Amino acid sequence: QVQLVESGGGVVQPGKSLRLSCAASGFTFSSCGMHWVRQAPGQGLEWVASIWQDGNNKYYADSVKGRFTISRDNSKNTLYLQMNSLRADDTAIYYCASEPTLGSKYFDYWGQGTLVTVSS
């Protein structure tokens, strides 16, 4: 069955960096667009970033543009989110999600999430 397992979350000081990973299994990872979505405490879901199957096309929310980088390693079935210059308002549960086919524009499977806390 499809599994998406996030890791790499934790407590980090403002201005520091963190890299999240999302290990995928149970489907052809290299054929799917992948995404990061977050939920801050008491808030709704917020899309963070997307990457196409081949990794050449990437999209970012304005709130993270220039600070976060999405990438993938199709040989390892793993999605990444490099987060730099972290701020308190980046505190959230970060979910990875898969998109079934190019242009589907919806997320069919989600991971359980990993918590990132930015605090001094």
Partner 1 sequence: QSVLTQPPSASGTPGQRVTISCSGSSSNIGSETVNWYQHIPGTAPKLLIYTNDQRPSGVPDRFSASKSGTSASLAISGLQSEDEADYYCAAWDGRLDGYVFGTGTKVTVL
Q: Which residues bind partner 1 (CB under 8 A)?
A: 35, 37, 44-47, 50, 59-62, 95, 97, 104-113
Alpha-helical segments (H) within 6-118: none
**Token pair belonging to 83:** 């987060």
Q: Cβ closer to partner 1: 16 or 43? A: 43
Residue 97: CB minimum distance to partner 1, A: 8
Q: Cβ closer to partner 1: 106 or 120? A: 106
Q: Half-sphere exposure of 43 toward its Cβ, with a 13 Å CA cutoff?
A: 14
The candidate with the shortest Cα–Cα distance to 71, out of 84, 80, 62, is: 80
Q: Cβ closer to partner 1: 16 or 65? A: 65
